[in-house]
Amino acid sequence: MPNFHRVVITGIGAVTPIGNNIDEYLVGLQTGTNGVSDITLFDPEQHPCKFAAEVKNLQSEDFIEAKECKRWDRFSQFGVIAAKQAFKDSGLEITETNASRIGVIIGSGVGGLLTMETQAQILSNKGPKRVSPFTVPMMIPNMATGLAAIALGAKGPSSSVSTACAAGSNAIGDSFRLLQLGKADAMVCGGAEASITPLGVAGFASAKALSFRNDSPQTASRPFDAERDGFVIGEGSGILVLETLENAQKRNARIYAEIIGYGTTCDAHHITAPSPGGVGGAEAIKLAIEETCLSIEKIDYINAHGTSTSANDKNETSAIKSIFKDRSYLIPVSSTKSMTGHLLGGSGGIEAVACILSLTHNFIPPTINYVNPDPECDLDYVPNNAREAQIGVALSNSFGFGGHNVCLAFSKMN
């Protein structure tokens, strides 16, 4: 049997609809800030959904050369900015000696969707010779990983995960595995997404996945509420720096928390709908808890996938009940998507960051807009206001189209 390494979090970064760095994001989570507003990134007049959770007041040129910004899709910009934040926060330095032991994995559900749309229009209207030579490197989903590795000088394990809304969590879990096995000393990992585009919004609207609450956008993202009618699309990035405990201790790094479990499964059921009763999600939760070697009584908080769609919220509640039984009613469960909207492949990253902030600042983020209880969703969803609490172990759930399920387990350092 291999001698598994313990893995800790030494850096965090976030670009979100409720804050463009960790300090702003923390305040947003603690105060129940609502990041949803009318779409400004394009004219939504012809769309049935006219609102989203956009990243606001971010000047990419403050982090990336202006010339490079024009050659990078918006999702890559978010990913690199959050990665730079996390790396600076960690205090890591890359040298010729350690570069091959530091890697990057950043997940994205759809990659450079804005680039695809823009260049397809140019192709249609102006012909193939006018298509940008940067089209392919701008739109491919692995480019946030590639650009972050270039920016940091990280030459270790490098890949990208595209498992829809589970991508960011899979990226963190896969990085955790590499570090456990000693294949790297540190990994920069998480998710990035920028799908608030005409095609992205139209596609999800046609699939009846979005809320159409145009008369009240700020109340549209309402996970677990009886009057939920779909998710609100968001954008941004959440990135962690993971290290082996040995590497972190060797350089006297500040340690936020430890990652202690990773469960991943597939429903093998339907292209978009979760398996009945949340069976696949429940199995991912079970696997993550088993890896922690802790009893279910030790789980203090669950950051839910909690999309604000009828099927997801009901089935996730069932999944939690199937694992925790009567204890389900004693564990706070909240959805930060009520504030940030649904970042698709970026969700797992910012929600992992939310869990780490919960552990280190002793609070539970709220599920805002929770007004009308649903009999099928009857757990403690921390309604509307953050709650002070001593959190020892937190779980983060991410479930994606295609039946992809992930659960990550984080703990305070012992």
Q: Choose, from 305, 355, 377, 407, the residue flagged as catalytic.
A: 305
Pull the structure tokens for residue 307: 């999309």
Let me know: does 179 contact 188? Beta carbons within 8 Å.
no
Q: What share of the chain is helix, strand, coil (3-state, %, to 5)?
A: 40, 20, 40
Let me know: does 230 contact 208? Beta carbons within 8 Å.
yes
Q: Choose, from 49, 342, 404, 407, the residue flagged as catalytic.
A: 342
Is 377 designated active site? no
CA 376 to CA 236: how far, in whole Å? Answer: 31
Let me know: does 381 contact 335? Beta carbons within 8 Å.
yes
Of 217, 237, 221, 230, give the one whose Cα is nearest residue 76.
Answer: 237
CA 167 to CA 144: how far, in whole Å? Answer: 13
Is 361 designated active site? no
Is 49 designated active site? no
Strands (E), 139-185: 158-159
Q: How many CB atoms lie within 10 A of CB 1?
A: 3
Cα torsion through 278, 279, 283, 285, rounded to 10: 20
Check residue 5 and report its DSSP letter: P
Q: Choose, from 49, 165, 189, 355, the residue flagged as catalytic.
A: 165
**Bridge partners (DSSP) listed for residue 37:** 52
CA 54 to CA 4: how far, in whole Å? Answer: 40
DSSP assignment of 320-371 equals HHHHHGGGGGGS-EE-THHHH-B-GGGHHHHHHHHHHHHHHHTEE--BTT--
CA 203 to CA 311: how far, in whole Å? Answer: 18
CA 244 to CA 228: how far, in whole Å? Answer: 41
Catalytic residues: 165, 305, 342
